[in-house]
Structure 1
Amino acid sequence: MTGIPRAPLLLGLAGVLPFTWGALTVLVPALGDLSLDLLGPRFTGRTLLLLYGTVILGFMSGVIWGFATRATGRHAAVLYALSTLPALWAVFSGFSTLALALGFAALLLLDRHAQAAGLAPPWWLRLRLLLTALVVLCLLPGLP
């Protein structure tokens, strides 16, 4: 992706790998069986999607918190408050892949705001759109 620095792009794509593995082990049961034997149930299918998705949505809350540190006054206070929502959503929304997918999609609104306000780097939204699309696609096979 043009304009996105190499390190954030590669590390962001690497962060999608557990989502990809979770989706693959849902879609290809033989991979799920292999994963169970080698890694255990936490690293397989829907469980992996839910656990890792919750962690990453919480992590992304922290990123928005970081952007809030660059704002001032009421704007900063509102962003700090809004930055807690993705993590709270991940924990209290019923622990479902649909809820996580919706959380990641909604997070784009905060990313867009941070970019428009000059709090995020110019390439941020391009990276977030790419990664969010990949994550949401990976979460879909985990729907009940």
Structure 2
Amino acid sequence: MTPPSFARLLGAAGLLPQLAVAFVLLEHNNELRFSALAMGYAYAALILSFLGGLWWGLAAKTAAAPAWLWAVAVLPSLIALGSAAPWAVGEPWPGPSLIVLGVALIAALGVDWQLQRTAIAPPWWLKLRVPLSAGLGTLTILLAYL
């Protein structure tokens, strides 16, 4: 089953902010470097939190949602918040935080797989989620090294 066209289009457009940040960093624009990294970090943190909201919504629409789903749905926001701690206390940032967010975005596919396996998510869920989470996660990790 294929994801809805509009969801595919908007999902693909969701990779554009990280691509724009990568472009700025590849241009070696030192004047914009920190701002670009901060925007890339913020976008990855927002999208990770958004995933948790998606999972919460799927739990809410499920008659007997498993307890693990409610618990897992709050983790993305906590990971995103925790990844800001180094910045808040003056530690090296944003490289390590970008890696944490990128790995978390990719690891989120494990939850998405379970949601589809248990028929909590629609049958097309993974066809949408895999390229988006793998793409955004990989781009976010890449930003840490540019």
Question: How high is the TM-score relative to the length of structure 1?
Answer: 0.82
* Alpha-carbon spacing, 1:13–1:74, altered in 2? closer, same or farther (3 Å): closer
Residues of 1 paired with 2:22 and 2:141: CA distance? 8
The answer to whether structure 1 residue 48 and structure 2 residue 39 are counterparts is yes
What pairs up with 1:89-128 in 2 under 5 angstroms?
89-93=79-83, 94=86, 96-128=97-129
Distance (Å, rounded) in 2 between the aligned partners of 1:74 and 1:129: 23
**Structure-to-structure mapping, 1:24-35, within 5 angstroms:** 24-30=23-29, 33=31
Cα distance in 2 for residues equivalent to 1:74 and 1:136: 27
Q: Please give the alpha-carbon distance, in whole angstroms, between the structure 2 residues aligned to 1:124 and 1:6.
A: 13
Consecutive unaligned residues in structure 1, runs of 5 or more: none
SS at match of 1:143: helix
1: CA distance, partners of 2:59 / 2:8: 22
Q: What amino acid does structure 1 have at the position aligned with 2:45? A: T
Is the contact made by 2:103 and 2:141 (CA closer than 8 Å) also made in structure 1? no
Contact 1:61 1:87 in 2 (8 A): yes
Task: Specify the alignment match of 2:91 in structure 1.
Answer: none
Q: Counterpart of 2:15 in 1: which secondary structure?
A: helix
User: What is the aligned residue count?
Assistant: 134
The secondary structure found in structure 1 opposite 2:61 is: coil
Aligned equivalents of 1:15, 1:73: Cα separation in 2: 31
SS in 1 for 2:46: helix
Query: Deviation per CA, 1:112-142, whole angstroms, max 9, x where unpaired?
Result: 1111111111111111111112112311332
1:74-89 mapped onto 2 (5 Å cutoff): 75=66, 77-89=67-79
State the partner residue of 2:90.
Answer: none
CA contact (8 A) 1:26 1:141 kept: no
Q: Which residue of 1 aligns with 2:58?
A: 67
Q: Distance in 2 between matches of 1:141 and 1:26?
A: 10
Within 2, Cα distance between the matches of 1:23 and 1:86?
23
Query: Alpha-carbon deviation of 1:103?
Result: 0.8
Backbone CA RMSD of aligned residues:
2.2
The amino acid of 2:6's aligned partner reads A
**Deviations 1:9-41 (Å, cap 9, x if unpaired)?**
0010111111111122122224x75xx4xxxx6
> Quick one: distance in 2 between partners of 1:17 and 1:116?
30
Higher relative contact order (CA 8 A, sep 6+): 2
